Chain A
Amino acid sequence: MDWMTLSPEEWTTVQLSLRVAIVATLLSLPFGIGIAMALARGRFWGQSLLNGLVLMPLILPPVVTGYILLILFGRRGPVGALLADHFGIVFSFRWTGAALACGVMGFPLMVRAIRLSIEAVDTRLEEAAGTLGANRVWVFMTVTLPQIVPGVLAGMILCFAKAMGEFGATITFVSNIPGETQTLPSAIYTFMQVPGGDVGAFRLTLISISIAMLALLGSELMSRYANRRLDIE
């Protein structure tokens, strides 16, 4: 069973991938809910533009998205320089950059799932909460949010899965540095480039599959629990 044992480098890759995907998902979440809410409920100028912008990474070649990120968030890029100078946040060739790339690529999937669930919310319940004295923020927190939990969970899982598998944008933006930006897909790709690397590639592939499977099972369980709590009338 020797071939099953992960080398320390491979273990680092797995941990890094998980960290990148979890950070990407959690940091996208507030923005995802906010933008989904704006797209589902808002009526403002530029709504279609915002919608297009959010969906863009889904349609663009990932390499193009990675390149745009490099231009914007690189050390000398307008946003990257600003963040580095004022907040000390650096993206280029760091795992944070990988998280950013994965977050951007997963974002459209997350927004879409949450938006659909917001559109399915019974607004009459929100009206009722309003007449009981809840202002808009409270209505959202106590009535809307509990109703969209299944959609939010689905969006998070999609975003996480996308982040675990992201390759093109990540490698373009932050390269393929072992221990810093080498996530599972990059590592598998690297293994395939060297002679005798297929055993390592196979091991990492198995791990990818297991993580994806666990994530799906977890989301299934959670949304079942949420649905039972909602107890749709």
Chain B
Amino acid sequence: MTLAVDIGHRLGTFLLDVQFKTASGLVALFGRSGSGKTSIINIIAGLVRPERGRVTIDGTVLVDTEGGLFVPRHRRRVGYVFQEGRLFPHLTVRQNLLYGRWFAPQTKRGDDLDRVVNLLGIAGLLDRRPGRLSGGEKQRVAVGRALLADPRVLLMDEPLASLDETRKAEILPYIERLRDQSKIPIIYVSHSIAEVARLATTVVLLSEGKVAAVGPTSEIMQRLDLFPLTNRVEAGAVIEATVERHDETFGLTELASRAGRWKLHRLDAPVGARLRLRVRARDVMLAKSAPADLSALNVLPGIVADIGPHDGPIVEIRLDCSGEALIARLTRYSVERLGLVSGTPVFALVKSVALDRRSLSGPLQATADLATDASEG
């Protein structure tokens, strides 16, 4: 699936001028509030008619202002998960889920209600009405409703924004499963770097109505020049790791990555499971020599690859740890005191407890979350 977007649209004094192309997987439209993310998916869904431009899915034209073509929203077959759910209050959950099926192409009406219901863990809600559901349940039903309309692409507009941390943690695994198990590409709008780092295959970084960068998630996350546009405080590197072994005595799990080995609190994932680890730049310390008598368990050798802008008191540094990038956030004073320049060999230190559950994601983390979810529900 390729989604190609090339649009220009004016909203008051705000000018949206965006071109990008994406392949399959989960594409995050990432940027601050007001960067034009929602306008873009509203245009893809046909809720807004762009002043200029062209949107195509796999060569099928949805809008082409030059050719005077505008496919109405009900013929686009895009599944839209709105920020506020927008479930139909007068229908039961089951009727909500099956709503789009009335209109889906006849041949595509497989018997996949059960599959979607299980994927999202909403079997127990089918006969309830939306008014009685929690925020997290509503959003899962909204995702199911969009999926069952047999969409060519799934658009999600900050589906977690109105939920608290617990509810977010409840839904994230389902979205991961959706990304990994269904073949439907997802366009995911978010301003949360944690969500994007955890979910995205590709990131489209937006700033003031323009595309600032497009690329694989780990690549975008390690670019120091983009830090002012992402969220500097929460920013960090994204690392792929594999579960190596569990240490039952101390309740620890060891992960292997290209950068080296990581020790963190015991995970509910089998040996061999692949995970994605987000290491926030502010949790990384640097030392010029291998430290001894240290509580931090993660000590990874590397060399300084790049130093970010020097104009403020805080400086970001990208390390090359055997080919894997790691970002550290230091004061400019420390950088000068240690005499760090490009090429300096250093050791990166990360406390194990800084790597909490929210820094981790992966298919098996999802099963662990499902178990707790079931016992709560």
User: Which residue from chain A places its CB closest to the CB of B104 in the assembled complex?
Assistant: A133
Residue A27 is within 8 A (CB to CB) of chain B in the complex: no
Min CB gap A117→B, angstroms: 14
Residues of A within 8 A of B343 (CB): none
Q: Which of A199-233 contact B (CB under 8 A)?
A: 229-233
Q: In the complex the two chains form, is A130's CB within 8 Å of B73's CB?
A: yes
Does chain B have a CB within 8 A of A53?
no
Whether the pair B73, A131 counts as a contact (CB closer than 8 A) is yes
Contact of B100 among A132, A143, A146, A230 (CB under 8 A): A132
A233 to chain B, nearest CB (A): 5
Q: How many residues of A contact B (CB 8 A)?
A: 22
Among the listed stretches A81-89, A121-129, A172-180, which one makes contact with chain B, having 4 or more residues with CB under 8 Å of it? A121-129
**Chain B: number of interface residues, binned into ranges:** 20 to 34
B324, CB-defined interface residue at 8 Å: no
CB-CB under 8 A for A125 and B131, given A131-B73, A131-B79, A132-B100: no
Query: Do the beta carbons of A132 and B82 come within 8 Å of each other?
Result: no
Residues of B within 8 A of A142 (CB): 88, 99
Partner among B88, B100, B146 whose Cβ is within 8 Å of the Cβ of A125: B88
Residues of chain A within 8 A of B75, CB atoms compared: 133
Contact B89 A231 (CB under 8 A): yes
Q: Which of B221-251 contact A (CB under 8 A)?
A: none
A48–B131 Cα gap in the complex (Å)?
Answer: 38
Query: A135 to B47, Cβ gap below 8 A?
Result: no
Complex contacts, A131 vs chain B, CB 8 Å: 45-47, 73-74, 76, 78-80, 146, 149
B63 nearest CB across to chain A (Å): 15
Contacts of B90 on A, CB cut-off 8 Å?
A: 146-147, 229-231
B145 touches A (CB below 8 Å): yes
Complex contact B89–A133 (CB within 8 A): no
**Which of B46, B104, B131, B149 lies in contact with A231, CB distance below 8 A?**
B131
Residues of chain B contacted by A146 (CB below 8 angstroms)? 90
A142–B45 Cα distance when bound, in Å, is: 20
Chain B residues, Cβ within 8 Å of A124: 82, 84, 86
Instruction: Please tell me if the beta carbons of B88 and A134 are within 8 angstroms of each other in the complex.
Output: no
Would you give the shortest CB distance from B145 to chain A, in whole angstroms? 7
B148 to chain A, nearest CB (A): 9
Residues of B within 8 A of A230 (CB): 89-90
Contacts A138-B103, A231-B129, A232-B131: A130 and B74 contacting too (C-beta < 8 A)?
yes
Question: Is B130 engaged at the interface, CB distance under 8 Å to the other chain?
Answer: yes
Contact across chains for B80 and A134 when beta carbons are under 8 A apart: no
Give the distance in Å from the alpha carbon of A147 to the alpha carbon of B82 in the complex.
20
**Residue of A129, A135, A233 touching B130 (CB-CB under 8 A):** A233
| The one of B45, B99, B132 that contacts A129, using a Cβ cutoff of 8 Å | B99
B75 — nearest CB in chain A belongs to which residue? A133
Q: Is B77 in contact with chain A by the CB < 8 A criterion?
A: yes
Distance, CA A142 to CA B91, complexed state (A): 10
Q: Are B86 and A128 interface neighbours, CB within 8 A?
A: yes
Mark interface residues in A144-168 (1 if CB within 8 Å of B CB, else 0).
0011000000000000000000000
A-B CB contact pairs (8 Å), 11 listed: A124-B84, A128-B80, A131-B149, A132-B79, A132-B99, A133-B74, A133-B102, A133-B103, A133-B104, A232-B89, A232-B131
